[in-house]
A and B are shown apart, each in its own frame.
Chain A
Amino acid sequence: MTISIWRYSHLALAVSSFLLLTLASVTGIVLSFQPISEKIQPYRSDRFNEINLAQSLPLLRKQYPGISELTVDANQFVQIKGSDADGKNLLALVDPETGRILGTPQPKSGFFEWVTALHRSLFLHETGRFFIGITAFLLLMIAVSGTILIIQRQRGLKRFFTRIVRNNFAQYYHVVLGRLSLIPIIIIALTGTYLSLARFGLISTPEFSNEIDFNEIKSEPVKSPDQFDVFRRVSLSEVQSVEFPFSEDPEDYYTLKLSDREITVNQITGEILGEVKYPAAVLLTNLSLDLHTGRTNAAWAVVLAVASANILFFIYSGFTITLKRRANRVKNKYTADESEFIILVGSENGSTFRFASAIHEQLVSSGKAAYVTEMDNYTAFPKATHMIVMTATYGLGNAPTNASRFETLLERNPQPQPVRFSVVGFGSHSYPDFCKYAFEVDNLFAKQQWAVPMLEIHTVNDKSPDEFSHWAANWSQHADVPLIVSAGLVTPRLHRPHALTVISKTTVSNAEEAFLIRMRPEKQLDFTSGDLLAIYPADDHRERLYSVGKVGNDVQLSVKLHVNGLGSEYLYGLQLGETIDARIDSNAHFHFPENAGTVVMISNGTGIAPFLGMIDQQPVYTDCHLYCGFRNEASFALYKNALDRNLADKKLSSLHVAFSREGEKQYVRDLLARDEAFLMDVLSREGVIMLCGSLSMQNNVVALLEEICQKHLEKSVSYFQSRSQVLMDCY
């Protein structure tokens, strides 16, 4: 698969160039301040753009008879050179219209000169320039491979700028900033490469020169220079430099070096003696210099500085991502040939390896010969009795990078003895095609003669340690191998930075009823409804996550009290005013959508918690509809007052409640089936449907949606999921 080629190139290019790239970025940031510091000097004439040469040159030559040259720099400062009345060398910045001296050109800042030399040649002259040139080219390649990776990640060019699923800080911002600064970085890299190529003569610049036929030079009719046509036509803003005639002799002439051509002008008659256009290579070099240095535009210089700073961030975040992946690799104690337990891993970014190595370690420590490898290393394992496949899914149900050849290898290498297998799929419900590749692998195994199914396929959502432990316990029972996968092995985070104080709590009369608990963060906290609150009730590895609603600035949870429920009993036992340490994780895929027209919220039981907060956070007249399911009127009573207030405030447009044990004994699915036309209308108008509650409710609702989407819109639910129009957060 091509993904691996691009990813490996992206990494290989980055590794091979990061030292020089760091240096070039840091010096680049410093250098971007050069144009800014120059442009704030007061030497630019306000009327610069309106002046032509006829207004300026004759006047300057009259005031400074010894003038030999006029130059216009990138800041549009006009500088003249020549000799003054005493015959001394003269160098000054002047007002091109009045000839008034504005100042003397300052010698270039030694500091910037030093940084420039470092930036383009590392103080190593030609050798240094060569390496910097290569670095610029590598940066270009990194940018190109990065673009392709983003396109593949976002599944299509059209979706290039749509939302990115957030995994962790480094990865998320690597992609987010990558998209933003892509264009400036490509420009920096491209112009840098071009300048190096031009410097080393790899881009041929044809020789050009103004040939003058001195026999043709006329000395009449005599014209006053301010009447010269060419002077009146050329404005000062087009000029790079003007060489004044060396003497009064008719054979000495004006040379006008303009931005795109060079013109020579007879100083007596004003006739054009010669005109040459610069070759394209020269114009491109100038353009590259303008774009690479920002010398003509201070705003662009700022953009360049920001882009350079971004490169530094990419180096940092890129290596963080890579090191994380590396850390997940497993060291094998036994060889493939002598191992009884074979663990095959299919992983896009390496995170699945953490789970595989947890199992591997346990097996080895209990004296079993076990072997972990990538799915693409599948071969005949002569001593194998058990095979465990742990795989993620990439993109639209494709195989991850290191499992691309697995299907072929499996067909080609049948195992000589029966082997019991179990497949664990890793994925996230926030992506469409949840664990699709794992299902495919399970089917492939089922077709093999030698393969004996041991467990049903098991899926793990969002790396859930609970779901994984569940599989591990099950597998260890069937395989008769003791296996204790403590959640700590697979959840290294026990970080609890946020202190929360209980400010209110409802009471329950029976177990299995729900209660509302409200907690106030001690410090200002940036969170929103739909985020997850992680608590550690027993102060150990066991983590419990709750979907939060933000009401005012408080965290509100809706929790069902279970008998012996670790999290629920802990929360219910908290006293008013008691403070706990916890952590709020951003859960961006389940935030209230921005700019969606209509939002339909679907919940059962305590799944209503995030919606209570979301509705409360909305301004009035939000087109928001809530479908919720409860056991009976009594269990809904807890939320009734708040929702009635929301209806009255017009924050909620409609409320539909299903009771499963009372009255019509309906489920939320039945209400949705009733309003089928409305739901399809919402989806076709780019509205959003959000689901929160139990997994069985999710399965029911998704099955219904699938059916009606196919019927009315001829599309699958996954189509809307991939466009963030169906959002789910179920447990």
Chain B
Amino acid sequence: MSDLIKTVLVFMVLTFARPASSIAQTAGTSKYKCMIQMTNYMGEGAYIVVSLINPKNAYDKTLYVMGQDKKWYNSLKEWHKFQSKKPVNISAITGASVTGGDRSVNVLEIESAKINAGYKLRFESAVEDKNYYVKDLEIPLTTEALSGKSEGTGFIRYVRFSPN
């Protein structure tokens, strides 16, 4: 091979390697559309938190919060402990609370490395003056679970995902 061809090749490799490395960085997270369908309960809107749970069964990260008034956050007892111990700014991942019979569709951003790695998704729910469910729904964070429908046990009827 001539020097010229070598130079061209090196150039091409460099040119393509650059975007490739940046792809590798953003490929670290995946976005999923997540739909929560509520049961037909009567009463105030439910506060729901979606959290990532690590293989040791401890909170790893808050993925989404439905409910904007901080004064009710303590009704989500377990998560509130985690959030108060290590406060994280959640304003970008906070939306409206969800009333009975309604649904809420939100985008969850999950680190790809944690999928199929023993992590779980926990849906924790509470309604003012009604029940609190630590695990209204908890599913293993697997590719299979992220493409299907899972039934809740409390205020949540079911949760569906679709890749975004």
Contact = CB atoms under 8 A, between A and B. Distances in A.
Interface of A: 66, 68-69, 81-83, 87-89, 91, 107-108, 113, 125-126, 201, 205, 207-209, 243, 246-247
B107 A246 contact: no
14 contacts: A68-B105, A69-B105, A83-B164, A87-B31, A87-B164, A88-B107, A89-B93, A89-B107, A108-B68, A125-B129, A126-B129, A208-B40, A209-B40, A246-B160
Contacts of B31: 83, 87
B80 interface: no
Given A83-B107, A87-B107, A107-B68, A247 B162 contact: yes
A243 B103 CA distance: 8
Interface in B92-148: 93, 95, 101, 103, 105-107, 128-129
B88 interface: no
B65 to A, nearest CB: 12
A246 B106 CA distance: 11
Contacts of B103: 243
A109 B91 CA distance: 16
Contact of A209 (B95, B101, B128): B101
B69 interface: yes
B42 A81 contact: no
B33 interface: yes
Nearest to A68: B105
A201 B42 contact: yes
Contacts of B42: 201, 205
Given A81-B105, A88-B107, A246-B105, A113 B162 contact: no
B76 interface: no
Given A89-B93, A113-B69, A246-B105, 11 more contacts: A66-B33, A69-B105, A81-B95, A81-B105, A83-B33, A83-B164, A87-B31, A88-B107, A89-B106, A205-B42, A246-B33
B35 A89 contact: no
Given A69-B105, A83-B107, A246 B69 contact: no
Contacts of A87: 31, 107, 164
A282 B101 CA distance: 13
A361 B108 CA distance: 85
Interface in B69-97: 69, 93, 95
Nearest to B130: A126
Given A87-B107, A107-B68, A207-B40, A68 B101 contact: no
Interface residues of B, number: 19
Contacts of A81: 95, 105
A236 B103 CA distance: 20
A427 to B, nearest CB: 58
Residue picked from B42, B68, B93, most chain A C-beta under 10 Å = B42
- Between B35, B105, B106, B160, the greatest number of chain A beta carbons within 10 A of the residue's beta carbon is seen for B105
Contacts of A243: 103
A657 B113 CA distance: 113
A247 B33 CA distance: 10
A209 to B, nearest CB: 6
B35 A68 contact: yes
Nearest to A89: B107
Contacts of A207: 40
B33 to A, nearest CB: 7
Interface in B142-164: 160, 162, 164
Interface in B30-81: 31, 33, 35, 40, 42, 68-69
B40 A89 contact: no
B132 to A, nearest CB: 14
A83 B164 CA distance: 9
Contacts of B40: 207-209
A107 B101 CA distance: 23
Nearest to A67: B105
Contacts of B33: 66, 68, 83, 246
B95 A89 contact: yes
A41 B4 CA distance: 66
Nearest to A199: B43
Nearest to A247: B162
Nearest to A262: B101
Given A107-B68, A207-B40, A246 B162 contact: yes
Nearest to B31: A87
A207 B128 CA distance: 20
A209 B68 CA distance: 27
Contacts of A107: 68
Contacts of B69: 113
Q: Would you list the 8 A-B pairs with minimal beta carbon distance, nearest first?
A: A68-B105, A87-B31, A87-B164, A83-B107, A126-B129, A89-B107, A246-B35, A247-B162
Contact of B128 (A66, A113, A125, A246): A125
A70 B33 CA distance: 17
A413 B106 CA distance: 84
A81 B35 CA distance: 12
Contacts of A126: 129
A87 B40 CA distance: 30
B56 to A, nearest CB: 29
B45 to A, nearest CB: 13
Contacts of B35: 68, 246
Nearest to A129: B129
Contacts of B162: 246-247
A91 B68 CA distance: 14
A243 B128 CA distance: 25
Contacts of A89: 93, 95, 106-107
Contacts of B101: 209
A89 B35 CA distance: 13
Nearest to A86: B31
Nearest to A204: B42
B105 to A, nearest CB: 3
A89 B93 CA distance: 8
Contacts of A246: 33, 35, 105, 160, 162
B69 to A, nearest CB: 7
Contacts of A205: 42
A82 B105 contact: yes
